[in-house]
Structure 1
Amino acid sequence: MTSSNKEKTYDLIVIGAGTGGNGVARMAAAEGWNVASVDCLPYGGTCALRGCDPKKMLVAVTEAVDWADNMDGKGFEAQPAVNWPDMIAFKRTFTDAMPPRIEAGLSKAGVTTLHGEARFTGPDSIELNGETLRAKHFHIATGARPMTLKIPGEELLITSTDFLNLPDRPERIAFVGGGFIAMEFAHIAARAGASEVTVLEMMKRPLGNFDPDLVGLLVEATNEMGISLRTEARVLKVERSGEAFLVTFETTAGTEQVSCDLVVHGTGRVPNIDHLNLAAAGVEFGRRGIKVSDYMRTTNSNIFAAGDCADSGPNLTPVSANEGRIAGKNLLAGKDTRAVVYPPIPSVVFTLPQLATVGLSEADATEKGLAFDVHFEKTADWYSSMRVGAKRTAFKVLVEQKTGLILGAHLIGPGAEEQINLFAMAMGAGLTANKIKAMIFAYPSFASDIGSMV
């Protein structure tokens, strides 16, 4: 059978122009492969355009409000306020510039950049905008999407992407879910001046993957801000009520309702693979995403996958970049030469105060039968906290008794986002608690507190 004149053939087609895909496209193009990159959205992926980076730009603005609140009565006199449109414009100075910059960089590297929604039509072909494209190899890095809630009125909710682009701040906002997205955005909205912020979490506490003692401190800080954090609250439906919305939710005490001007989907994300028609390509997938081996190869040996769309490591941007690098190396080698190895991976909730974790929780370490000491202390009276007026700061570090190795570290407070990286480095390098204590850090700094935590 001869190919249609409309068919184009590549050595590699990368589906998804975010962190998990762009590196693979560049690696192959650098080796002289004929490579195309496809995305139905502007180039850059979730993190750069719709997630981590723009979110933290908004956090940066609200940090000024938090700083002023903490320094009130300590010599600092000001009444800061957030101008929402100006804050969104500030965020766009980064996000608007990224897609053309990323696409131009790929083009310069020799990658053909294409736009549209790709759909597999066979093990070596996709359909894109009515055209058939063939490739010897594919790499899938389509990321994740908001999970489907399956509740009446779900179409009335906005997504995290929509929230990051709101032209104005509503007065009353309800967040469905109590994970990263909901907690971070709730803090942003409250510090930006929203009069009523409600978080509806169906579990007994928010941020279930984080240390419960430290989450308790964050809950105290959240409540003190005036945010209504409702736990064991399962949303039943969302409906319009004039110009507003009415959210009906079930609690242990019965059915309740909250009226608001905006309802935000913050319950989590799932692999963004429904549109790919993976069955046609012989690529197996499950609830956690595309099934991949330790070499990031799918059940179709010519197709790789990485990042949030795969059933691999944690759904974090640096993880997708690492998985993409491994996939690229095996792809170019023509065989499985590099298995993905996950070092200690830190994770941070960018609320204020920040909440950070790396390694095992107390429950995990206990379940594994490990013998360990728990170093747990609230540190509001430590110099680092007093200096910046931080009220709720603490650490919990797990040290293995036999080896002195750090099994896990959990932090809350200013500086946590960088302290946790140092713990991750120490754990990856196999440093014992005694070796960490023997290190000399610049003082006074947040890092210099680490020796007192182990």
Structure 2
Amino acid sequence: MTEENDAKGSKHYDLMVIGTGEAGPTIARRCRREGWSVAITDERSYGGTCGQRGCVPKKVLNGVAETVDRARRLKGDGIGGECHIEWADLIQFKRRFTGPVEARRTATLAKDGIVCLHGQARFTGRNELKVGDERVTARFIGIATGAVPLKLSIPGEELVATSDDFLAMESLPKRILFIGGGLISFEFGFIAAAAGASVTILHRSERLLKGFDPFLVGLLVESCREMGICIETDMPVSAVEQAGGHLRVLSRDRIFEADMIVHGAGRVPNTAGLDLARGGVTTDRKGIVVNPYLQSVSNPSVYVAGDANPRGRPLSPVASRDGKSVAENILHGNTVVPDYSAVPTAVFTAPVLAAVGLGEEEATMRDIPVTVYRADTRDWYTTRRLELGRSGYTVLTDSPKGRILGAHLLGYNADEMINVFALAIRRGLTLADLQEMDWAYPTAIHDINRIR
């Protein structure tokens, strides 16, 4: 099938995709391989958040921060001298990874025969869009627009920087305050503190890093505070204001001063600019209302994937899998329901916090009988040889059969080890199955044998 022009001057495609991160191009390429006419657009540079403003640049910065942090911890144990981060050099290093992303993504899509447009897409009808000044119609529309920081709805919100701003700054401010006690604040706070900034995290409630095991979060908070990061809970921000050459944050009856304030209070689907109502696409407080096949319940021509999908999780592998699921459902009529039950995730600090599967609170709420294995492992060799300070685990198994249902790790190499547990959950393995393995020694993964 080929692109066509209708009587109104609109260009018609079999599929129009909005968003060029991980999910959008996956949908576009799969349908194009079936001979469909496909167009794609983005209001920002091609490549999406992960490759340019998220996981990839963050991990580049984290790798350097982790190296410096480790050198400092081991000073006097074989490491001598001073180790520090040159921020401008680090940002240049990051750009070696992010700089080529847009050109590569655009070239690859064009080579595949996909029409590459640029501009904000807005619905003008159920199967009609306006992209910039161009009118487009399509049999199917894929929304893969990612996520954006949620509105804080406080005075002075315009003074608050985003994680995008943090990753682009040429010099490091002396004092950085993060609003929100989630993943962004802990990861970027760790990087900034390792680079020499004074870091404060303010969180509105008592529970930090919601979704992660509270016992391990507590150990991570201890480690962060030892590093010099100030973490304040039950401290909702009521306003931000300019005060001379710095910024002030008002929270309860306290005032915090900083040179930069960063939004780390959560993200929401980036769909506000799409004029969804004109496309007959219904929403609720979570985002676009979709069925299990990621299809709009009110407009069956529309599918949603990636961070814009309220059913999924804001992770790049999930976005890619969503893209594959949506493509199959568009092509073959709703045959695939995505499975989010064993998706690992990690907080890249030092130590690393990682999780997959069921948590203890969720097990209790769902009345699932579990056996819980938990320990503080700061005295284990893996942790002591790096002077890491804190480590631990919480592992949940099915009480009747012993199958692994959830794993939560804090420590060296936890971001790699968690993948073994993810595979175990997917394949229905027991803890005994893992402990029968002859793991390489001495490695962090060998510590699985010590879980009791």
- Superposed displacement of residue 370, structure 1: 2.7
Q: Which residue of the other structure, out of 103, 107, 125, is the alignment partner of 1:122?
A: 125
Distance 2:223 2:409 in 1: 15
- In structure 2, how many angstroms separate the alpha carbons of the residues matched to 1:179 and 1:366? 23
The equivalent of 1:149 in structure 2 is 152
Structure 2 CA distance for aligned equivalents of residues 337 and 361 of structure 1: 29
Superposed displacement of residue 313, structure 1: 1.6
The amino acid of 1:262's aligned partner reads: M
Which consecutive unaligned segments of at least 5 residues does structure 2 have? none
Deviations 1:382-439 (A, max 9, x none): 1211222221011111122211011211111111001111111111110011111111
| Equivalent in the alignment of 2:401 | 403
For 2:448, the equivalent position in structure 1 comes to 450
Q: Is the 8 A contact 2:66 2:349 kept in 1?
A: no
Q: Which moved more, 1:384-393 or 1:117-126?
A: 384-393
Deviation at 1:343, TM superposition (A): 3.9
1:313-357 C-alpha deviation (Å, 9 max, x unpaired): 222111111111011011112x12222223411111111111111
Does the 8 Å CA contact 1:142/1:309 hold for their aligned counterparts?
yes
Note if contact 2:250-2:256 (Cα within 8 Å) is conserved in structure 1: yes
Which deviations, in whole Å up to 9, do the C-alpha atoms of 1:26-85 show, x marking residues without a partner? 111111111111001111111111111111110011011111022112112131110111
RMSD: 1.3
Give secondary structure in 1 for the equivalent of 2:71. Answer: helix
Equivalence for 2:419: 421
- Aligned partner of 1:305 in structure 2 is 304
Structure 1 position 368, deviation (Å): 2.3
Contact 1:144 1:271 in 2 (8 A): yes
Conserved 8 A contact 1:361-1:408: yes
Query: Amino acid of the residue matched to residue 43 of structure 1?
Result: Y
- Hey, what does 1:226 align to over in structure 2? 228
Q: Partners in 1 of 2:176 and 2:340 — Cα distance?
A: 38
Deviations 1:219-245 (A, max 9, x none): 111111111111000101011011111
- 5 Å matches for 1:3-402? 3-4=6-7, 6-194=9-197, 196-250=198-252, 255-299=253-297, 300-333=299-332, 335-402=333-400
Confirm or deny: 8 A CA contact 1:15 1:141 kept in the other structure: yes
In 2, the alpha carbon distance for the partners of 1:284 and 1:371 equals: 38
CA–CA distance in structure 2, aligned partners of residues 324 and 371 of structure 1? 34
Deviation at 1:205, TM superposition (A): 3.0
For residue 306 of structure 1, what is the amino acid of its counterpart?
Answer: A
SS across alignment from 2:291: coil
Give the Å deviation of 1:287.
Answer: 1.7
CA contact (8 A) 1:288 1:310 kept: no
Post-superposition offset of 1:4: 4.8
Contact 2:122 2:273 in 1 (8 A): yes
Percent identity between the aligned chains?
44
For the 8 Å contact 1:64–1:80, the answer to whether it is kept is no
Q: Secondary structure at the match of 2:117?
A: strand
Could you report, residue by residue, the CA deviation over 1:99-128 in whole angstroms, capped at 9, with x for unpaired residues?
A: 110110111111111110000000111011
After TM superposition, the score normalised by the length of structure 2 is 0.97
Q: Which consecutive aligned stretches of 4+ in structure 1 deviate over 3 angstroms post-superposition? A: 2-6
- Does the 8 Å CA contact 1:6/1:131 hold for their aligned counterparts? no
The 8 Å contact of residues 306 and 312 in structure 1, kept in 2 or not, is answered as no
> Is the partner of 2:46 in helix, strand or coil?
coil
